[in-house]
């Protein structure tokens, strides 16, 4: 433990050999944790490499309040959680894009117009798309939309206003391309 503290101090001062020894000492422990956490050896290896890089970059932030191995696990866990969030966001985006293409194909197949306005509307988050659609395509009042969405009428007005601003910006950007 005393030897590890000396390695940490040397690594903080830029001693590459001390850093390498420190990482080498903890690599197996980290990998075992990551394999159990991810249940995917390939992903675990990628996360271990990313954790090692992050450790090199952030060694100066290690405050010795916990064991060094616990600090590495914390880094690895946060990297994994961030990656899962990114993957979920990317998957949601891909799923949404796939759904938009299918909707566009269905509307065209049914001889309904897929205008630039509908294309721009499809890019809005549902929170803005839904009240605009209900108000301007189907003619519902703000109060009726508020009841349907279970939100205050003022929120409906705000979402429609902000959504229309986004649409105008989107349509203006498309026209200048």
- pLDDT tens, 23-71? 999 999 999 999 998 888 899 999 999 999 999 999 999 988 888 998 9
Region 128-151: mean pLDDT is 86
4 pLDDT above the threshold of 80: yes
Q: Supply the DSSP symbol for 15.
A: -
Locate 3 and state its tokens. 């030897």
Locate 96 and state its tokens. 């949404």
Residue of 18, 22, 5, 83 whose CA lies nearest to 50: 83
Residue of 13, 14, 15, 26 whose CA lies nearest to 67: 26
Q: Supply the DSSP symbol for 67.
A: -
The DSSP code sequence of 108-175 is: HHTT----HHHHHHHTS-HHHHHHHIIIIIT---HHHHHHHHTS-HHHHHHHHHHHHHHHHHHHHHHH
Is 19 a domain residue? Answer: yes
Region 70-94: mean pLDDT is 85
Domain that holds residue 39: 2-88
User: Residue 57: which CATH number?
Assistant: 1.10.1740.10
User: 96 versus 41: which is more confidently predicted?
Assistant: 41
Angle 97-103-108 (CA atoms, 0-180°, nearest 5)? 130
Is 100 a domain residue? Answer: no
Region 9-17: mean pLDDT is 94
pLDDT at 2: 65
Identify the band that residue 79 occupies on the pLDDT scale cut at 50, 70 and 90.
very high
Pair 12, 84 in one domain: yes
User: 148 versus 62: which is more confidently predicted?
Assistant: 62
Is 48 a domain residue? Answer: yes
Average pLDDT in the chain: 84
The tally of domains found in the chain comes to 2
116 pLDDT above the threshold of 70: no
Identify the band that residue 87 occupies on the pLDDT scale cut at 50, 70 and 90.
confident
Identify the band that residue 148 occupies on the pLDDT scale cut at 50, 70 and 90.
confident
93 pLDDT above the threshold of 80: no
CA-to-CA distance for 32 and 19, rounded, in angstroms? Answer: 20
132 pLDDT above the threshold of 80: yes
């Amino acid at each position: 433990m005393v030897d590890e503290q000396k390695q940490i101090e040397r690594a903080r001062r830029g001693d590459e050999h001390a850093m390498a020894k420190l990482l080498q000492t903890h690599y197996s422990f980290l990998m075992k944790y990551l394999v159990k956490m991810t249940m995917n050896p390939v992903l675990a290896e990628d996360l271990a490499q990313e954790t090692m890089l992050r450790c090199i970059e952030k060694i100066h932030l290690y405050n010795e309040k916990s064991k060094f191995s616990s600090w590495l696990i914390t880094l690895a866990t946060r990297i994994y959680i961030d990656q899962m969030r990114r993957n979920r966001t990317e998957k949601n985006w891909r799923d949404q894009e796939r759904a938009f293409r299918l909707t566009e194909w269905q509307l065209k197949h049914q001889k309904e117009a897929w205008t630039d306005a509908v294309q721009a509307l499809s890019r809005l988050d549902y929170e803005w798309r839904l009240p605009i659609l209900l108000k301007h395509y189907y003619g519902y009042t703000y109060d009726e939309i508020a009841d349907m969405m279970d939100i205050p009428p003022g929120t409906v007005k705000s979402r429609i206003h902000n959504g229309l601003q986004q649409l105008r910006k989107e349509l203006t950007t498309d026209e200048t391309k």
